[in-house]
Amino acid sequence: EHPQEKINWCQYHGQWKPGVPAAEYSFVEQVDGRGVFSFCMCPGGILVPSSTEPGTIVLNGMSNSGRTGKFANAGVVVQIEPEDVPGDGPLKMMDFQHKVESDMYKYTLGAGASNPMAAPAQRMEDFCLGKLSKTMPETSYHPGVVSAPLHMLLPEMVASRLQKAFPRVKMRNYYTNAALLLAVESRTSSPVRVPRNQETYEYVSMPGVYPCGEGAGYAGGIVSSAMDGINVAAACAAAI
């Protein structure tokens, strides 16, 4: 999460004026053989709690229609492949995801936060340098934040790639201690994929059932879900 004014200054080259839309950004980096990229950037947005079960902390970002908020936020995703996570079970990626979400909650609880949904947080430069942030900037996340060593709380393969990626982003004002990292946005794509026939799009063990979109593991966002839905709808119509 950045102050929106910093993103405006960068993207409009210092020429932003009231009435001009809040600026957006995106980036993609390759770090140690894995992608690191921005996801669902929300100009003038807010961060909201999105946990679906007790004992976990999950965040998401959103913008109201006017995009007039003081902050800009985006998820930053580190690509993780099945071979990156130990184990052989079909749900090992889901277990990995759940552990990260649970670890964030346990840290917040241990830190004595007044709100159990407070998010562990760290300033960006401090994170990359492996330093605990002594102060927290203002944030749009209403449950609040607690200063946390995210460079240690996150899985090493995630933290190390983020530490290398942030300074590389080719955008002035991006790599700054005015930016706050809040953990964790972990629902960008499904950790499990339901198998389906590549030609008919039907579930391999039950004809007539069509796994589709994010929940089935075939998309990671609004546009990719829509594209998968079109393909599945066409396959379903052809089968009728």
The residues spanned by each domain of the chain are 2-182, 194-240
pLDDT recorded at residue 49: 98
For residue 35, CA distances in Å to 149, 162, 165 come to 23, 10, 10
Question: Token match 């002594």: residue?
Answer: 134
pLDDT recorded at residue 44: 97
The DSSP letter of residue 156 is: H
Q: How wide is the angle at C-alpha 135 spanned by C-alphas 77 and 185, nearest 5°? A: 20
pLDDT recorded at residue 221: 82
Tokens of 202: 């039907």
198 confidence band (pLDDT: 50, 70, 90)? very high
Which candidate, 29, 26, 56, places its Cα nearest to that of 41?
A: 26
Average pLDDT over the chain reads 95
Global pTM? 0.90
